[in-house]
Amino acid sequence: MDKTIQAVRAKRYTLEALVGNTPLIRLERVTAGLSPQVEVYAKAEWFNPGGSVKDRPALQIIREAEEKGLLTPDKVLLDATSGNMGIAYAMFGAARGFRVRLVIPENASPERIGVLRAYGAELVFSDPLEGSDGAIREAQRLAAADPEHIFYADQYNNPANWRAHFRTTGLEVWQQTGGRVTHFVAGLGTSGTLMGAGRRLKAFNPDIQLIGVQPDAPFHGLEGLKHMATAIVPGIYRPELVDRQLTVRTEEAYAMVRRLAREEGLFVGVSAGAALVAALEVARELDRGVIVTVFPDSGYKYLSERFWTDDGRR
């Protein structure tokens, strides 16, 4: 047998072993006009087995809960989600043999709902007008009503969320840039990515700038991101760790995801577009630097959205 085939067959993976170590992609065409000494990179988080960055904190939350005896085979994992975290929970629940119940806004995209149902998750729909905050309130109510049979994962307040990114994402960014990273840009939803990866990067080099990205208004179309001034602020969020806050308009993010698809060949979700809008704003101010941002997921769960063709192209 060919030695290469033998090596491939010998290297077997579990589902959990595929989480993390995602590629870091240098952006070339959308960065035209920047100083030649400014580099912009994105972590391609759709390479995780569940298709998003949320595989990292979901796995960490599950592992820590099992180690502490909080999540047992006779309990149901419950949490509020806008989609990606729920998909990660449902995937691991199916693989590990526990039930998953998710509260999700009723206006979540049909693609996300379809994936969750395919994994066998139990869905509870919350008021679409209340967004992620409405889902959080309903999850809290359900958890309080049956604490004996429910493990409330509580991604917005569970420190295992940011610890996942401290252990993996921040370390990967440092290693993949050879320690040259100068700015780290991430969207604020639960805030786990920026809080965890940011802490790790600051431990390596305190001069690295951490930039948080959020919508510019309470009512927005940036799925997964929070307008912190008007939303329920996650318990794991520490604004004092953030060097700079930037806001992005929904329309800017929509335009950017179209540009990424058509100019870079990267088919990404809305929060990725928002992150890059902010990263490029930072990049235009620099003469030199290495900027890394996070593209949380691909665009496949958003195909039913109109913005893909709102620019008149079919």
Catalytic residue among 82, 126, 132, 271: 271
> What pLDDT, in 10s, does the model give residues 8-23?
455 567 899 999 999 9
CATH number, domain 55-152: 3.40.50.1100
CATH 3.40.50.1100 domain range(s) in the chain: 3-48+169-308, 55-152
pLDDT value at residue 12: 60
> What pLDDT, in 10s, does the model give residues 207-255?
999 999 999 999 898 988 999 999 999 999 999 999 999 999 999 999 9
CATH number, domain 3-48+169-308: 3.40.50.1100
| Mean pLDDT to the nearest integer, 39-44 | 98
Asked which of 12-16, 37-41, 126-130, 293-297 is least confident by mean pLDDT, the reply is: 12-16
Q: Residue 4 pLDDT more than 80?
A: no
Catalytic residue among 43, 54, 75, 226: 54
11 is catalytic: no
Query: In the block, which residue shows the tokens 């590990």?
Result: 96
> What pLDDT, in 10s, does the model give residues 139-172?
999 999 999 999 999 999 999 999 999 999 999 9
Q: Residue 312 pLDDT more than 60?
A: no
CA distance 147 to 114: 28
pLDDT value at residue 11: 55
Q: Confidence class of residue 129 from pLDDT cuts 50, 70 and 90?
A: confident
| Mean pLDDT to the nearest integer, 106-111 | 90
271 is catalytic: yes
pLDDT value at residue 78: 98
